[in-house]
Structures are given as C-alpha cells and as structure tokens.
C-alpha cells in the first residue's frame, strides 16, 4: 500500500469499521512484534498491544497527516505503553480482553488464550541469542532501549525513529551511538 | 567487543516473529464491537451543530439588540407620546402626527409634524389663533407665526414625555442636529395640581 492509499484508508477508518479492520490487520503483527521484542514477555505483549489499539481507536479521529505518519503515530503509542509497563511494578491492564469484556465489549468468537500463550512461549525460548541481548538491553536507560530496538529489531530508519520518539535526527544518531556503547560496556 | 562488531551482531540477530492469531482476532472483534463508530457519528453531528448553533444564537442576540429591541423601543416611545394628553392636544390642534421616532444614547426622540409636510423642508403657517401657551412655557406665539413641528424627548424608563423642542423646519430626524434644539421641560397635565386641572 503506497502512502496515498494509506492516507485514504486512515481517513476512512476514522468513521468506517471495515477500513479500521483493514488498518488493524496490517499493523497488528508489527505492533505486537515490536512490543514482544521490547519486553520478551508474551502476556505483557498481549496487554500492551491491546491497550495500544484501543487508544489508537479512541484517538483516531484526532489523527492528522501533518508532522507524523500513521505508522510512527501507532509506534509512538506503543512505545509510551511500553514505558509505562517498565515504570510501573504492575502494568495497568485496564484493557486486557477480560476487562474489555467486562466493560461491555463483546468478542464474537471466543478463543483459548492459555494454550495459545503456552505454545508461543515455547517458540520464544528458541531465540536464545535474542533473549540474551534483550536481557542486557532492558537494563539500559529507556531512551537507549528505544533507539536500539527500533533501529536493529524493527529495522527503522533514523528519520522514522525520530518521528516515533519525537526527537531530531541528529539526537537519534547520537543516542544510538551512545546506546551501542553502553551495551558494549555491559557485554 | 568492538563497537562495529556489536552493530554487526545486532543487525544479524534473529529476532522472534511470533504471532497470537487468537488474540489478534479476539481483540479485533472486541474493538469493532464497541460503540466507537456510532459514538463518532454523534460526535460528528455535535461538531457540526455546535458552531452552527453558536452562530444562530449569536445572530439572534445581535439581531435582537440591533433590530428587535430598537423596534420595541420605538413603538414604546410612540405609545408614550400618544398617550400623553398634552401631546394629544397638540396633535389635534395643529393637525400634527408622529412622523418619525429616533433612538439615541438610550433616549427616544419623537417628531411631531404635519403629516403631509414632513420631510418637505417647509413649515406651515398656523391659520388660527394658537389655543394657548405651549405646555410648560409662557405663551410666545402670535397668529401667523410659523409652527412647523415639535420634537419630544421621551423617557422610556419613566414612561413619559420629559422635554420638548420646537423646530423651524421639518426635516428627517437623521438629518437634524438634535444638539441644536432648545429643549424645554414638558409638563404633562397629569402632574398639575388639582385646582389647576381641567374640571372636565
């Protein structure tokens, strides 16, 4: 999908549920993957991803293609939620699916979350190199964690990282350099 | 490990690409099943109607204060003047009529003039003897003297004619310099002492 097509889809998604569904299908894997690679925790990744899309849905009518692309906007929401997760001892799970259902949000088809999680956790264990590096990254200051994961795990360009984090490109380059240095010292 | 080697390691690192299809589907259905899109339509209308309503209210308020309220005051001033017995006498004696009402600085000015002669720029000669002194003034007219018209100053709060002035030339109030009018106190017969009042 090119930029103009995505702009049109985002515009429609502000009012049309089908358009929102299409946007969601496109971005769920990216956001879930990003959150998982930042947290290495599947349960947290579920909760944070749910919260991200709920906030995106609520704020979608405010979104304007001005200073930031839709993708960066979505990543920005996810990054903020991840920061909250790391800051608080207990992440506020106001939008776990169970709580959403209590608030009257009804899923159409029930699923077995436990089995799905167990299976996914077994898969995650296979990525030992990743888990080792990720374990060191999470001990870095938050800004360093963000730039390293966005650059190397999400393959984002400097410009996009700057959009997501709301910093200048020069700042991002500088942060990235220092982050890698810090990680190297921790190695 | 050197800086460049670590960067290389990070770039080549195999990262997990795990999906939770059940969670993805459940979350999607839950989000779409919320009332968000209905609420948004209502909000859309609210966003449209709010400025429209505000504009309508503003126009109504401006319209009221600039159009309706002045009209009400003009009608009120006319009514006050016409209800005054002295004014009624003037109208009857000199065949005058209220030809115009003007509002200015919270006061109403009523122009009494011969109806046909209003705006003609000419006065008329009184063809008969004046019936008596003009209210509040010692008699100062004589037969044949020009009596073109009067301007009455109406107090809308007190609901009475408070002052009056003679005009030599009947022209539209808008063309008249009211500051040049020599107003005198207008004493209605309602305020006269009982023994001075007309026994009838």
Give ipTM to 2 decimals: 0.86
The answer to whether B33 contacts A37, with C-beta atoms less than 8 Å apart, is no
Q: Provide the number of structural domains found in chain A.
A: 2
Same domain, A168 and A119: no
DSSP code for B133 = P
- Residue A63 in contact with partner chain B when CB distance is under 8 A: no
Distance from CA of B23 to the nearest CA of A (A): 7
Both A51 and A136 in one domain: the answer is no
Higher pLDDT, A85 or A100: A85
pLDDT surpasses 90 at A169: yes
Cβ atoms of A149 and A39 closer than 8 Å: no
Q: Which range in A69-73, A77-81, A89-93 is most confidently predicted, on average pLDDT?
A: A77-81
**Banded model confidence at residue B129, pLDDT cuts 50, 70, 90:** very low
Q: What is the CA radius of gyration of chain B?
A: 39
Name the residue among A111, A123, A183 with its Cβ closest to that of B26: A111
What Rg, from alpha-carbon coordinates, does chain A have?
17
Please check the confidence at residue B141 and state whether its pLDDT lies above 70: no
Classify residue A33 by its DSSP letter.
H
**What local confidence, expressed as pLDDT, does residue B101 receive?**
92
Q: Do A89 and A170 sit in the same domain of this protein?
A: no
> Has residue B19 been placed in a domain?
no
Given an 8 Å threshold on Cβ–Cβ distance, is B40 in contact with A100?
no
Of the ranges A2-11, B18-27, B100-109, the best mean pLDDT one: B18-27
Domain that holds residue A184: 127-187
Confidence tier at A98 by pLDDT (50, 70, 90): low
pLDDT digits (tens, 9 = 90+) for B170-181: 777 778 787 878
A101 and chain B in contact, CB less than 8 A: yes
How many other CB atoms are found less than 10 A from the CB of residue B152? 25
Q: For chain B, what is the domain count?
A: 1
Q: How far is CA B93 from CA B128, B131, B197, in A?
A: 9, 8, 19
Check residue A93 and give its pLDDT.
Answer: 53
Res B182: pLDDT: 81
Q: Is A88 on the interface with B (CB under 8 A)?
A: no
Distance from CA of B46 to the nearest CA of A (A): 14
Per residue in B18-52, pLDDT tens?
999 999 999 999 898 877 776 656 777 777 788 88
Round the average pLDDT of chain B to a whole number and report it: 77
pLDDT band at B199 (very low <50, low <70, confident <90, very high): very low
Looking at residue B125, what DSSP letter applies? Answer: B
Residue B2 within any structural domain of the chain: no
pLDDT tier at B168, thresholds 50, 70, 90: confident
Distance from CA of A57 to the nearest CA of B (A): 8
Question: How does DSSP assign B19-77, residue by residue?
Answer: --HHHHHHHHHHHHTSSHHHHHHHHHHHHHHHHHHHHHHHHHHHHIIIIIHHHHHHHHH
- Residue B74 near residue B108, CB atoms below 8 Å: yes
Out of A125, A147, A165, pick the residue that ends a domain. A125
Among partner residues B18, B22, B34, which is closest to A36 by beta-carbon distance? B18
Mode of pairing for the β-strands spanning B96-104 and B184-185: unpaired
In chain B, which residues have their Cβ closer than 8 Å to the Cβ of A108?
29, 33
Chain A residues with beta carbon closer than 8 angstroms to that of B11: 152
B34 to A124: CB separation less than 8 angstroms, yes or no: no
In a domain, B25, yes or no: no
Q: What is the pLDDT of residue B10?
A: 94
Region of B7 on the Ramachandran plot (φ > 0 left; ψ -120 to 50 alpha; else beta): alpha
A9 touches chain B (CB under 8 A): no
Task: Tell me how far apart the alpha carbons of residues A49 and A62 are, in angstroms, rounded to a whole number.
Answer: 20
Comparison of pLDDT for B145 and B30, the residue scoring more: B30
Nearest residue of chain B to residue A16 (CA atoms): B37
Q: Looking at the domain assignment, is residue B171 inside a domain?
A: yes
Nearest to B15 among A42, A130, A180 (CB): A130
Segments forming the whole domain that contains residue B181: 43-128+143-188
């Amino acid at each position: 999908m090119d930029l103009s097509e995505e702009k049109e889809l985002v515009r429609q998604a502000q009012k049309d549920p089908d358009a929102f569904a299409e946007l969601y299908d496109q971005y769920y894997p990216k956001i879930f993957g990003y959150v998982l690679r930042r947290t290495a925790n599947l349960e947290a990744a579920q909760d944070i991803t749910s919260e991200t899309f709920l906030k995106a849905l609520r704020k979608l009518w405010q979104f304007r293609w001005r200073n930031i692309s839709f993708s960066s906007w979505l990543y920005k929401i996810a990054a903020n939620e991840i920061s909250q997760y790391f800051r608080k001892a207990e992440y506020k799970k106001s939008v776990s699916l169970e709580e959403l259902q209590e608030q009257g949000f009804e899923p159409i088809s029930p699923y077995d979350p436990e089995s799905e999680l167990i299976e996914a956790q077994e898969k995650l264990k296979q990525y030992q190199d990743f888990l080792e590096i990720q374990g060191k990254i999470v001990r870095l200051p938050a800004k360093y964690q963000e730039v390293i994961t966005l650059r190397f795990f999400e393959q984002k360009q400097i410009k996009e990282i700057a959009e997501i984090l709301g910093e200048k490109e020069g700042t991002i380059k500088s942060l990235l350099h220092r982050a890698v240095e810090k990680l190297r010292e921790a190695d | 490990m050197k800086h460049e080697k670590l960067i290389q390691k990070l770039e080549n690192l195999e990262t997990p690409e795990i999906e939770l299809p059940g969670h993805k589907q459940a979350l999607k259905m839950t989000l779409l099943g919320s009332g968000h899109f209905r609420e948004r339509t209502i909000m859309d209308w609210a966003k449209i109607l709010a400025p429209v309503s505000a504009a309508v209210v503003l126009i109504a308020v401006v319209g009221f204060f600039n159009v309706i309220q002045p009209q009400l005051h003009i009608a009120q001033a006319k009514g006050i003047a016409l209800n005054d017995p002295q004014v009624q006498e003037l109208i009857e004696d000199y065949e005058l009529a209220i030809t115009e009402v003007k509002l200015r600085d919270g006061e109403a000015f009523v122009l009494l003039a011969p109806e046909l002669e209003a705006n003609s720029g000419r006065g008329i000669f009184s063809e008969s003897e004046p019936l008596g002194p003009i209210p509040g003034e010692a008699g100062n007219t004589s037969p044949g003297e020009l009596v073109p018209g009067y301007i009455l100053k109406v107090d809308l709060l007190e609901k009475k004619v408070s002052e009056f002035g003679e005009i030599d030339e009947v022209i539209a109030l808008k063309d008249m310099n009211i500051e040049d009018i020599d107003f005198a106190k207008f004493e209605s017969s309602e305020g006269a002492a009982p023994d001075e009042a007309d026994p009838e």
